[in-house]
Amino acid sequence: MKVTIDDKSGFCYGVVSAISKAEELIAEGKRVYSLGDIVHNDLEVARLESLGVKTISHADLGDIAPEKDTRILIRAHGEPKSTYATLRGGSLGYADATCPVVAKLQRLTVEADKQMREVGGTVLILGKKGHAEVVGLNGQIEDRARVVEKIADLEGVDFSKPLFLLSQTTQSLALFAEVRDEVLRRSAAPSKVVVRDTICRQVAGREEHLRAFAKECDMVVFVCGAKSSNGKVLFEACHSANPHSIKIESPAELTPKMFEGVENVGVCGATSTPHWLMEQVRDTILKIEC
């Protein structure tokens, strides 16, 4: 059996930077607390925890003493304004690893909100409700934007007023196009609808690449954490190109039966999937063959 790891799968720029930042701070002897999982992959989170990076929630911030060497790490997804206020209020030192692409989108959200408030319009964010990046975006503008996950969420939008549509960075291009077309169709004045495709090309570019990769394999093993948003999008891309695609979180889920009659396996993953984990998956598949 031949097992190939997709050369474009694995951490995106934003995740690599956040993890490197955490590792640097640990090497400097800092006490590092990641505000939420630094990456949507439990095994990578466990690896970082073994180095000393503790994962905390917002509710834990009040329990952390403002010591000189303490650093609260803001992960690539970014945070709402209120988090920075809490950190400053508690005199907690922090390291901001918000991905520059997300930071730019936060600034655009503020600008969109300003424009819409001037004309009585609404900002629409295509994104997953409750996802950290979306909470961070809407938290730049006191939650005035309406978060749209699917077409049905457009019910109740005032289409007689101007609208500004943008997207969480990890949404699918196809869904964005569908929502954009529907917004324009329903709007009483489509010329007053501003559309900004703010999907990160680190993710979007991978959809097409993964479809081609999946087509070349007898079977695809997609590795990603259950909480990964772009993992769902990218797995869907694999599955649409090759129905013999499975999604796993760890090599422990693999069984010999899965590979019966398979000669050519492709291993790939999300932007939050560590390369070392895909290597473990490849090695496990090769051992299954023996």
Active-site residue set: 133
Which residues 6+ apart lie within 8 Å of 130 measured at CB? none
Identity of the residue, 171 or 284, whose beta carbon is nearer to ligand SF4 in the bound complex: 171
Question: Which residue in 177, 179, 244, 242 sits closest to 204, CA to CA?
Answer: 177
Q: How far apart are CA 178 and CA 271, in angstroms?
A: 24
Q: Does 136 bind ligand SF4 (CB under 6 A)?
A: no
The one segment of 2-10, 32-40, 94-102, 110-118 that binds ligand SF4 by CB under 6 A = 94-102
Contact 279, 253 (CB under 8 A): no
SS3 248: strand
The one segment of 8-16, 51-59, 122-130, 148-156 that binds ligand SF4 by CB under 6 A = 8-16
Nearest-approach distance from CB 17 to ligand SF4, in angstroms: 8
Q: Does 271 bind ligand SF4 (CB under 6 A)?
A: yes
Q: How far apart are CA 31 and CA 53, in angstroms?
A: 7
Nearest-approach distance from CB 15 to ligand SF4, in angstroms: 6
The interface mask with ligand SF4, positions 184-223, x = CB under 6 A, is ----------------x-xx--------------------
Contact 166, 202 (CB under 8 A): no
Q: Does 269 bind ligand SF4 (CB under 6 A)?
A: no
Identity of the residue, 15 or 219, whose beta carbon is nearer to ligand SF4 in the bound complex: 15
φ, ψ for residue 121 (rounded to 5)?
-100, -170
Tokens standing for residue 15: 């995740």
Q: Does 270 bind ligand SF4 (CB under 6 A)?
A: no
The one segment of 48-56, 97-105, 141-149, 212-220 that binds ligand SF4 by CB under 6 A = 97-105
φ, ψ for residue 204 (rounded to 5)?
-60, -40
Identity of the residue, 22 or 200, whose beta carbon is nearer to ligand SF4 in the bound complex: 200
Q: Does 15 bind ligand SF4 (CB under 6 A)?
A: yes
Nearest-approach distance from CB 283 to ligand SF4, in angstroms: 27
Contact 284, 254 (CB under 8 A): yes
- The rounded Cα 202 to chain-centroid distance in angstroms is 11
Q: Does 73 bind ligand SF4 (CB under 6 A)?
A: no
Q: How far apart are CA 290 and CA 270, in angstroms?
A: 28
Q: Does 13 bind ligand SF4 (CB under 6 A)?
A: yes
Nearest-approach distance from CB 160 to ligand SF4, in angstroms: 33
Q: Does 245 bind ligand SF4 (CB under 6 A)?
A: no
Q: How far apart are CA 172 and CA 20, in angstroms?
A: 27
